[in-house]
């Protein structure tokens, strides 16, 4: 079993946090999830498909992002968010806009996202899905936001992606405060970090400095499938420079997602080659009633079947996998495959470890194949090239 090079360090750090402080509040998505999703859909669900309502964030901020005037305009961070554990070679930095805009860019975005979250907590999985779908196709360059008859938006797997209206609202606010300065790609990253915090995750320091892409083609969209084996999924993530431990951590964001019956029913019927005889019997009974085989419907169920989860970002999802209560095939295989079972067990037993690693790996995801410097452009409207 191969862990991330920093796994032992993080384990020691997590143990230290547990021993030195009060327990963190108990607080919830492979992305197609309909986190519900980061997987493809066969049909276009309604705008309420992403997830059920989420509770406000409960976890403390270990490393808040610096505000205007901060001297920390650098990609090096202390504690669990040090440069060695994230993306110091990406060209991104914390506080990129501190000396480029008289307004506090991150504070403006955070306030507007918090307003949206209060109205619609499902914006958490919506933005998580949008972020993943964008970053896994030619990098985090907001190519997914472009309108057009053959743009990434039109790919089958992106039909149910939402959150575009919020990003355009945030972009309009940025253009009013700092015209032609803040990229759509950074807006997506900052907004995603904010909803993670509001949903119970850590308030990690978001890296900025991305520029927006100049290409968006539906033909380029090729996202992971929930029916993959662990080895197949690991190969997809490895192509984006994520090791197997990081893949397991990212899949832990299924803690707040849902899955439609179309992704489930093949595991329920004894006559199907995908039938899962080891699924918890009570879960199979519930899912069989919800998703009768051969009966078209748009029903869905939480990917995290823990009734105490309360729809927040925590590690209870992994405990459900250990109890054979995984909803998606790939998720469940994580607890059975020798390459990932130990990682699942470690995350299930240590909430602090999950909090830290999920933040670190999200920072890494947001730095995938980014455009910086003079590459790309700063769009005036996120849905259109300049």
The residues assigned a catalytic role are 133
Q: What does the alpha-carbon distance between residue 164 and residue 186 come to, in Å, rounded to a whole number?
A: 14
Q: Name the strand (E) or helix (H) holding 301.
A: strand 300-302
177, 108 Cβ separation under 8 angstroms: yes
User: Rounded to an integer, what distance in angstroms lies between the CA atom of residue 132 and that of residue 92?
Assistant: 18
Q: C-alpha distances in angstroms, 88 versus 80, 139, 193, 244, 370?
A: 14, 17, 18, 21, 13
Beta strands in 41-166 (DSSP E): 93-94
**CA 253, 235, 242 angle in degrees (round to 5)?**
50
Q: Is 79 left (phi over 0), alpha (psi -120 to 50) or beta?
A: left
φ/ψ region of 369 (left if φ > 0, alpha if ψ in -120 to 50, else beta) reads left
Our CA angle for 215, 37, 364, nearest 5°, is 60
Backbone angles phi, psi at 197, to 5 degrees: -60, -45
Name 301's bridge partners.
259
């Amino acid at each position: 079993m191969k862990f991330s090079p920093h796994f032992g360090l993080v384990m020691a750090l997590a143990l230290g946090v547990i021993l030195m402080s009060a327990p963190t509040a108990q607080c919830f998505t492979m992305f197609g999830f309909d986190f519900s999703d980061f997987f493809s859909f066969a049909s276009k669900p309604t705008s309420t498909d992403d997830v059920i309502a989420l509770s406000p964030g409960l976890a403390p901020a270990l490393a808040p992002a610096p505000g205007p005037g901060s001297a920390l305009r650098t990609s090096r961070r202390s504690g669990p968010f040090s440069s060695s554990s994230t993306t110091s070679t990406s060209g991104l930095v914390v506080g990129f806009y501190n000396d480029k805009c008289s307004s506090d860019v991150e504070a403006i975005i955070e306030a507007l996202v918090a307003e949206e979250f209060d109205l619609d907590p499902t914006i958490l999985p919506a933005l998580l899905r949008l972020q993943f779908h964008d970053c896994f196709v030619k990098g985090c360059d907001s190519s997914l936001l472009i309108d057009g008859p053959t743009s990434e938006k039109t790919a089958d797997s992106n039909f149910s992606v939402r959150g575009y209206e919020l990003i355009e609202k945030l972009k309009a606010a940025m253009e009013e405060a700092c015209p032609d300065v803040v990229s759509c790609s950074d807006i997506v990253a900052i907004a995603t970090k904010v909803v993670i915090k509001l949903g119970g995750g850590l308030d990690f320091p978001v890296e900025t400095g991305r520029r927006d892409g100049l290409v968006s083609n539906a033909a380029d969209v090729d996202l992971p499938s929930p029916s993959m084996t662990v080895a197949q999924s690991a190969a997809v993530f490895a192509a984006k420079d994520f090791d197997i431990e990081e893949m397991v951590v990212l899949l832990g964001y299924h803690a707040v997602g849902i899955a439609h019956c179309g992704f489930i029913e093949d595991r329920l019927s004894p006559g199907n080659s995908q039938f899962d005889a080891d699924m918890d019997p009570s879960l199979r009974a519930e899912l069989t009633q919800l998703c009768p085989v051969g009966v078209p419907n748009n029903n869905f169920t939480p990917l995290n079947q823990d009734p105490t989860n309360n729809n927040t970002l925590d590690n209870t999802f992994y405990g459900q996998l250990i109890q054979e209560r995984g909803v998606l095939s790939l998720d469940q295989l994580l607890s059975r495959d020798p390459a990932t079972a130990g990682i699942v067990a470690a995350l299930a037993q240590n909430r602090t470890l999950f909090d830290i690693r999920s933040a670190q790996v999200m920072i890494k995801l947001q730095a995938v194949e980014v455009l910086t410097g003079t590459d790309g452009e700063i769009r005036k409207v996120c849905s259109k090239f300049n």
